[in-house]
Each structure stands twice: as C-alpha cells, then as structure tokens.
C-alpha cells in the first residue's frame, strides 16, 4: 500500500487518480478548494483518505496542510501536483488580474507545494514528485500564452529541482498529457476578445473551441493509468508524453528546435571568446 498526496483532486485527472488509487487499496490525501466533490468518496475508510480543503494560492494554508498530511500518515510516497486551469486569450486581450491568478495558481502554487514537501521527503529517506504539466509545457498554441508561461515555467523549475534532490533519493516525473476529455475547455478563464484578433491564429483557435472543432483524443482513465504506472516504476523517466496528440506535437516541436540549433551552429560558436 502506497500513500499519495494529490492537489486538484476534486475534478478532472486528479479526481480520477484519487478514485483509482483508493480502489486499489492505497491511501490518499485529496486536496481541493471545495468539499462537495469528495462526497462520492465518503465510503472510503478514514484511515485511507484524508481530504484537505484549501486554496492552493494560500501558501500558509498549503504548508499547514502538507505538514498535517505527513504527520497524519507518517509517510507519503508520491506528491502529485495537479491543480491548475487554463487562461484563454491573446496576450494583449488578457487582464492583469487574470494573469496574476493564472501564475499564482499554476506556477507559484506548484512551486510552493514542492518546497513544502521536500523537507518531509528528505526526512523519510526519499519519495517522488509527479508534476501534471501538459504538452503545453513543450509546445504552444495561439491564445494560450499565459497558460504556456506557467507550464514551461514549472517544467524548468523541476528540471533544476530534480538535480538538487537526486542525492536524497527523490525522483521527479513530469507528465505531459495532450488534450484530454476532462472538461478543461469548459473550465477556461476567457479574456474579453478584441476584434483585431478575429482573423488571426488566435481567432481561429477561439472559433475551434466554440464549435467543438478542437480535437480531443486523450482518455482520462487511460491517461491516469499511465501516470500511475510511471509513478510506480522503480526508476521512472523524467518526462512522459501522454496521448497521440502530445507525442506528435512534442516530437515535431523538439525536432524543429534541434534542426534550428544545428543550422545555426557556425553563428552559435562564433559567440565564444577567441
């Protein structure tokens, strides 16, 4: 039996993961902003489920709940950073308050979760950090610039953290699902559109979302099964792309960046000191 702490556990992939882990007999600390979504889990024995209701952007509350979770269960094997949402709109369209909330929720809160968990993971002799990122941590879509800023940001943060904590037997896994049927689009925070962007790539994505033409191939159950499989592995890979869309888009983006780097090798090397 393993013990997991999962943020954003009240909906989407977080709720699916919570249910699957409880069904197989594991223990879960399920974190969310609202208690109501956890009512379906009420039949779970109290010694295997702990519900923590708080806002991830409240750093003091986050630290209290993480401390309390480790104290209650004694050991947590995997900390799953899953809380987040999407902000939709061209960079010029989004409001300052929307930007601040997006960064506070997706990036700062994820960073603070890791910081709160690390002392406990070190003290218990190791553990695992599983960050639910997105293919959007490696590629970009028009009208999702602030969402991408948070996902690219948390991936860079964790790349460095992984090097820092490897000596303490703490593994870092970054999961990068493609578009998945979780209700992500319905939960978007949308900026007020500017007419000037209507006939641009941002406008095209807006119309695709409105019409249902934005293809969603990912299955939430299978996506969660893959994440659990990776988290359970004795020596997990740092990154795992999930779904055919993620594989295709990330492969294309990385290949293009590598080609661009190679093509500019002479210019690149010319910047060295003589």
Rounded average pLDDT over 243-252: 97
pTM of the model: 0.94
Confidence of residue 40 (pLDDT cuts 50, 70, 90): confident
Q: Where are the beta strands (DSSP E) in the chain?
A: 3-6, 27-32, 49-53, 78-81, 87-88, 127-132, 170-177, 189-190, 239-242
Mean pLDDT of all residues belonging to the chain:
95
DSSP 3-state of 171: strand
Q: How far apart are CA 223 and CA 147, in angstroms?
A: 20
Domains of the chain, first to last: 3-244 (3.40.50.720)
Would you place residue 198 in the very low, low, confident or very high pLDDT band (cuts 50, 70, 90)?
very high
pLDDT for 29: 96
CA angle 144, 147, 149 (to 5 degrees): 105
Contact in structure between 80 and 6 (CB atoms under 8 Å): yes
Q: Is the distance from CB of 152 to CB of 170 less than 8 angstroms?
A: no
pLDDT at 203: 94
Dihedral angle sign, alpha carbons of residues 81, 156, 134, 55: positive
Between CA 131 and CA 53 the distance in angstroms is: 20
Is residue 36 a contact partner of residue 61, using CB atoms and an 8 Å limit?
no
| CB < 8 Å & 24+ apart, contacts of 228-236 | 228/17, 228/20, 228/21, 230/130, 230/173, 230/175, 231/78, 231/80, 231/128, 231/130, 231/173, 232/2, 235/171, 236/128, 236/171, 236/173
**Which tokens hold the place of 132?**
């639910």
User: CA Rg, the chain, in Å?
Assistant: 20
For the segment 154-195, what is each residue's pLDDT rounded down to a tens digit?
999 999 999 999 999 999 999 999 988 888 888 899 999 999
3-state secondary structure of 127: strand
Give 218's pLDDT tier (boundaries 50, 70, 90).
Answer: confident
């Amino acid at each position: 039996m393993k013990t997991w702490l999962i943020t954003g556990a009240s909906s989407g992939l977080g709720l699916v993961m919570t249910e699957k882990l409880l069904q197989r007999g594991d223990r879960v600390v399920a974190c969310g902003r609202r208690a109501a979504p956890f009512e379906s889990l009420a039949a779970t024995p109290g010694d295997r489920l702990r519900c923590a209701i708080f806002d991830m952007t409240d750093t003091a509350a986050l630290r209290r709940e993480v401390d309390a979770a480790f104290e209650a269960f004694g050991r947590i094997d995997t900390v799953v950073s899953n809380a987040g949402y999407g902000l939709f709109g061209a960079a010029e369209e989004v409001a300052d308050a929307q930007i601040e909330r997006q960064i506070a929720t997706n990036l700062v809160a994820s960073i603070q979760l890791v910081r709160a968990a690390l002392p406990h993971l070190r003290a218990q002799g190791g553990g695992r950090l599983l960050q639910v990122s997105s293919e959007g941590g490696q590629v970009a879509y028009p009208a999702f610039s602030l969402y991408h800023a948070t996902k690219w940001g948390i991936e860079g943060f964790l790349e460095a953290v992984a090097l820092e904590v490897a000596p303490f037997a703490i593994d870092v896994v970054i999961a990068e699902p493609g578009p998945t049927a979780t209700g992500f689009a319905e939960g978007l925070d949308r900026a007020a559109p500017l007419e000037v962007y209507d006939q641009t790539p941002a406008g095209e994505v807006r119309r695709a979302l409105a019409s249902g033409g934005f293809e969603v191939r990912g299955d939430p159950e299978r996506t969660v099964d893959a994440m659990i499989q990776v988290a359970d592995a004795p020596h997990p890979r740092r990154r795992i792309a999930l779904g055919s869309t993620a594989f295709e888009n990330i492969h294309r983006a990385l290949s293009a960046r590598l080609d661009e780097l190679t093509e500019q090798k002479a210019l690149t090397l010319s910047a060295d000191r003589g």
